[in-house]
Chain A
Amino acid sequence: MSVTETSKIEELANKEYKYGFVTDIETESLPKGLNEEIISQLSAIKKEPPFMLEWRLKAYKHWLTMKEPHWPNVKYDPINYQDISYYSAPKKKPQLNSLDEVDPELVRTFEKLGISLEEQKRLSGVAVDAVFDSVSVATTFKEKLSELGIIFCSMSEAIRNHPDLIQKYLGSVVPYTDNFFASLNSAVFSDGSFVYVPKGVRCPMELSTYFRINAANTGQFERTLIVADEGAYVSYLEGCTAPMRDENQLHAAVVELVALDNAEIKYSTIQNWYAGDKEGKGGIYNFVTKRGACRGVNSKISWTQVETGSAITWKYPSCILQGDNSIGEFYSVALTNHRQQADTGTKMIHLGKNTRSTIISKGISAGFSNNSYRGLVKIVKKADNARNFSQCDSLLLGDKCGAHTFPYLEINNPSAQIEHEATTSKIGEDQIFYLNSRGIATEDAINLIVNGYCKEVFKELPMEFAVEATKLLSVSLEGSVG
């Protein structure tokens, strides 16, 4: 790369920083291990105000009293928490000169996912010519948001620049005492995203981590907080369809959502972490705590997720329906193949009156994988006229995989209306032959059936995301038959 090109990119990168997309840390990694000293150093590197360090230390002390949970229906070797480095400077990916230098397997997958050439380069760390689209897009995007008073920045920046909001809301939905992985995250989280949408503002575009380019290395312990003030609306997209590799095996993120009176938050995820090889070796453990609080009256939170990656997924996006008339929704497609294990579902906690929740869960198991749905619907005594509808379907491809459903109900108010439907089906040879006999090849036949099965969830995704999700499923299922 020529000198002028390099400086141009640096210039763009700096411009980025000006708009707050990049954190300015250039420190080396911290040594492996976890103790108070390490946490203090981490907080210092990140130039955090004292309240943050205090909070991290409290979380750490609490974490020491906790035990790693083993109730999910997943199996893995013990994790050595002292063998992890809890901070490493955002590394620049090794720069490659062209896509020819990229793992051909990866390029093949990109092509099948329909990811554009420019985007393929960006994702795999190939040097991109002077002006790459996403930068300029991100910049105009950012200006538009600030006009409306919307804050969208990295968590590190938010801690420094908006301490009042952070102190008010961080940990208010998922306290540091919540669970083993959430406590660990609270103590050591490295970065993440922060969104605040002020009163009465409808965020005019989908907010996506995609626009926070360079933020790729948020690390194993990501922290996200989204606050929609009264009457506000925001739709947030997390993740992307491109396969994400990471040398860190353990990922324990926390996502907190807060919706005040009449506010609505839509949170969509496509998760495609590296799942390991066909034997399941080397895949990511994804232990996430995602929770939304419908704190205000008439507020609404929807979680939509398409989970295809990770060796092990342990994840229950939940809604606490505090405000009267508030609504919680959970739409999920979880696909497991090869040796993957997923234990996922949701919790709908009805505290307010006339609260409603909907759960649509579609599990797809192929290969030797194991897919469990675990869901809790809880209705407290005071929650009059609460309603829940749950539908948990499992689809099996082949007979070496497993699907399990664990629905839990805690109903303490007689006016509650609860409906639960569950089905398990299998893609039959006769269905595939029928489609073959109409000119459709087996893999396309399976995609057709799987996409039909997931329709109710996909329609909740923003358009482009839905298209990507469809392609992603077909790539993930490749080779699962025949």
Chain B
Amino acid sequence: MLLEIKNLHANIEGKEILKGINLKVNIGEVHAIMGPNGSGKSTLAQVLAGREEYEVTKGEIIYNEKNLLELSPEDRAREGVFLAFQYPVEIPGVSNTNLLKTALNEIRKYQGQPELDAMEFLSLIKSKMKLVELDQTLVSRSVNEGFSGGEKKRNEIFQMAVLEPKLAVLDETDSGLDIDALRIVANGVNKLKSEKNAIVVVTHYQRLLNYIVPDFVHVLYKGKIVRSGDKSLALELEEKGYDWIKAPSDSVEVA
């Protein structure tokens, strides 16, 4: 098992957002997490990446046989956890290439691999640029600065391609992408998918799941996973909306 979340509770500013999440992800699997706005999907993603503002009050997260909650955010990344942000931040003055070179070498150092020299690194990013059809000017610009919404999302997947994580959490990477970009990004993700990693996609749209076909679909509502199923659950949600899930779980506490 790559990831096991057990009864995870998390607060922000004293308010409980995650109220007992249970989730198991095996290597080679694709999981989709869906759910209404504000249900806690991004919170879960950020907790996985180690954002300190979120206080974990109960539960545990086992990743690759390690207690993930004990690792610093950078060590989680070095252990192979990657988060594609719903709202990627802009970092003026720091070029994408510089960020990636630093990040990749930090990760490699941690994993006991030799650092890449400038030439090796350049040829690596060239090949990864092709994967998400990102052009050179975007890659050499400052991280996300002045990028369009869609460019930012595509840049996240480009970073994922370069860093080759074991566990990638993609938080609404599809929103803001035009139709062509969606296809390009989804194809990119599919090419990165392998028997050696796992992907958790957070999305509102079934359309993405036509490209990135999930093994499991989970519905997060009010800080809990209230329903899990296979890819047909996504189709069902598309058709019926969330009301049919909301109603029972609002009245009955689902464990």
Residues of chain A touching chain B, judged by Cβ–Cβ distance below 8 Å, are 425, 428-431, 433-442, 444, 448-449, 451-453, 455
Known contacts being A435-B91, A438-B159, is A452 close to B142, with CB within 8 Å? Answer: yes
Could you say which residues of chain A place their CB within 8 Å of the CB of B163? 438-439
Query: What's the Cα separation between A434 and B73 when bound, in Å?
Result: 9
10 contacts between A and B (CB under 8 A): A433-B73, A436-B77, A437-B73, A437-B83, A439-B77, A439-B107, A439-B110, A440-B106, A441-B106, A449-B93
Pairwise interchain contact B73-A431, C-beta atoms closer than 8 A? no
Query: What's the Cα separation between A437 and B47 when bound, in Å?
Result: 11
Query: Does more than half of chain A's interface fall in helix, strand or loop, or is it mixed?
Result: helix
Task: Tell me if B72 counts as interface (CB < 8 A to partner A).
Answer: yes
Contact with A along B61-78 (1 / 0, CB 8 A): 000000000001110111
Query: What's the Cα separation between A449 and B94 when bound, in Å?
Result: 6
Residues of chain B touching chain A, judged by Cβ–Cβ distance below 8 Å, are 49-53, 72-74, 76-78, 82-83, 85, 88-89, 91-95, 98-100, 102-104, 106-107, 110, 142-143, 159, 163
Could you say which residues of chain A place their CB within 8 Å of the CB of B82? 437
Could you say which residues of chain B place their CB within 8 Å of the CB of A429? 53
Could you say which residues of chain B place their CB within 8 Å of the CB of A428? 89
How far apart are B235's CB and chain A's nearest CB, in angstroms?
32
Pairwise interchain contact B92-A452, C-beta atoms closer than 8 A? yes
Could you say which residues of chain A place their CB within 8 Å of the CB of B88? 434
Could you say which residues of chain A place their CB within 8 Å of the CB of B95? 452
Could you say which residues of chain A place their CB within 8 Å of the CB of B78? 439
How far apart are B104's CB and chain A's nearest CB, in angstroms?
8
Could you say which residues of chain B place their CB within 8 Å of the CB of A437? 49-50, 73-74, 76-77, 82-83, 85
Known contacts being A436-B74, A439-B103, A439-B110, is A431 close to B89, with CB within 8 Å? Answer: yes
Known contacts being A449-B91, A452-B98, is A440 close to B85, with CB within 8 Å? Answer: no
Query: What's the Cα separation between A431 and B99 when bound, in Å?
Result: 12
Residue on B with the closest CB to A434? B89
Could you say which residues of chain A place their CB within 8 Å of the CB of B77? 436-440
Residue on B with the closest CB to A454? B93
Could you say which residues of chain B place their CB within 8 Å of the CB of A436? 50, 72-74, 77
Additional A-B contacts beyond A430-B89, A437-B83, A440-B77 (11; CB < 8 A): A429-B53, A433-B52, A435-B91, A435-B99, A436-B77, A438-B103, A438-B163, A441-B106, A449-B91, A451-B94, A452-B95
Pairwise interchain contact B74-A440, C-beta atoms closer than 8 A? yes
| Most central of A431, A433, A444, A455 by chain B CB within 10 Å | A433
